A = this chain, B = another copy of it.
């Protein structure tokens, strides 16, 4: 896992100036590190980023449907099914039939689900705080705000003009 130090090679420092205008490039690189880190943090709880996110959203929004959840997570409905299956099989959530519309399920967390959610959440927060140690506070706050704005902006364009 030790990142090798470059030896004598044709190019000593990779020039990525042309790519510096592209969000995708920077976001992917940053996201890569964050996600692989988050994956490790969640491993002891047997959660992945997707199952963790789903669990948090269900805990915070008891009764929401799979369609709504998929929409909030920006994934397709079919891909959510296995995630919900997994959480349900582990008795962390339940699928309750909605009386008034029997097509839907109302997703709710169990006590075990809420407990795991709490523990995983704490671990993740602690780990992330450690990751961001050394970054000035304003940068961190900016980042969150800008990313959130960006998503709303992009999502509106995406959903609206297509």
Contacts and interface: CB of A to CB of B under 8 A. Distances in A.
A27 interface: yes
Contact of A64 (B11, B124, B128, B158): B11
B30 A147 contact: yes
Q: Chain A interface secondary structure, helix, strand, loop or mixed? A: helix
Contacts of A4: 67
Question: How many interface residues does chain A have, given as a range?
Answer: 35 or more
Nearest to A157: B131
A15 interface: yes
Interface in A79-125: 98, 104, 106, 121, 124-125
Given A26-B147, A149-B135, A53 B1 contact: no
Task: List the number of copies, as a whole number.
Answer: 2
Contacts of A137: none
Given A21-B125, A128-B21, A14 B154 contact: no
A143 B23 contact: yes
Most buried by B among A15, A35, A59, A74: A74
Most buried by B among A2, A20, A25: A25
Interface in A1-47: 1-4, 6, 9-11, 14-38
B72 A30 contact: no
Interface of A: 1-4, 6, 9-11, 14-38, 49, 53, 56-57, 59-61, 63-65, 67-69, 71-72, 74, 98, 104, 106, 121, 124-125, 128, 131-132, 134-135, 139, 142-144, 146-151, 153-155, 157-159, 162
